[in-house]
Amino acid sequence: MQGLQEKLTDGLYGIGWSTVKTLPEPVAVHLGRTIADVAFKQQGKGVRRLRANYARVLPDASPERLAELTRAGMRSYLRYWMESFRLPAWSKERINTGFDPKDLHYLTDGLASGRGVILALPHLANWDLAGAWVTTKLRTPFTTVAERLKPETLYDRFVAYREGLGMEVLPHSGGTAFGTLARRLREGGLVCLVADRDLSASGVQVDFFGEPTRMPAGPALLAQQTGALLLPVTLWYDDSPVMQGQVHPPVDVPETGTRAEKTSVMTQALADAFAAGIADHPEDWHMLQRLWLADLEPRPEPPDGERP
């Protein structure tokens, strides 16, 4: 049964990439909104989780406001998918005019310095579009990491899709990604990481909208180890076809403290920048999974005599 479900999932994504990209843009926009509204009405697991996460972002919101926000969030999420399915068919001009980041000088000056740059983003708006814009408009290749999806054929589709947009994609698992990322940065390259959800057992605990969660240590560790510039980036949609973005000031490596202490301070600074962007545009935060520690299943205690 699991194998059949994985094949079905892969087939559905395949249909999306092969069919949606051929639709006229207004038709794709309408289709995305329709699917989002149907999903919202069905109130499935992901929709309920999105609403619960929004309740932490806006703890004083009324039930009506949360319902309105969740519906808008699903529409934003489906806009992401419709755009992503269509990106391989977009012209260079469409990509170049599809994103308008503010304070881009933090990125361009960092790259010009030759020290390497790490861009760290939350799950806001369309990360793939921002990446395609960097490779197309700025003509700057970069390296990123992708979570291994099931089935493997689906993961392969995502890798091929992103590589087709000009990205070097490394698997999250396997233990070799960090070394490759460090080499790219020492060569003066660009690394982009989605960093608001920990996918490992080594995440750094941070305060996020007043409650503890874990975020990846990788961005801070890479900055410390390579001397690369660490820049938070937040994205959002407005009423136009153009996605907006903000490159935030660099997160500096603290002058004192242990490596773990420096990593904690830097990861908290990333969390604060992410929180500011999410608070301004909560409907564009596509977090349909559990995030806060209070919502996660408790991890089993290690046997006596073993360290976690």
**The two three-digit tokens of residue 45, written as one number:** 């697991």
pLDDT digits (tens, 9 = 90+) for 209-262: 999 999 999 999 999 999 999 999 999 999 899 999 999 999 999 999 999 999
Closest residue by Cα to residue 108 from 138, 141, 144, 143: 138
Cα separation, 50 vs 55, whole angstroms: 9
* Amino acid (one-letter) located at 124: L
As a whole-number percent, the residues of the chain with pLDDT over 90 amount to 70
Residue with tokens 């001009």: 93
The overall pTM is greater than 0.95: no
pLDDT digits (tens, 9 = 90+) for 4-37: 445 545 555 666 667 777 888 889 889 999 999 9
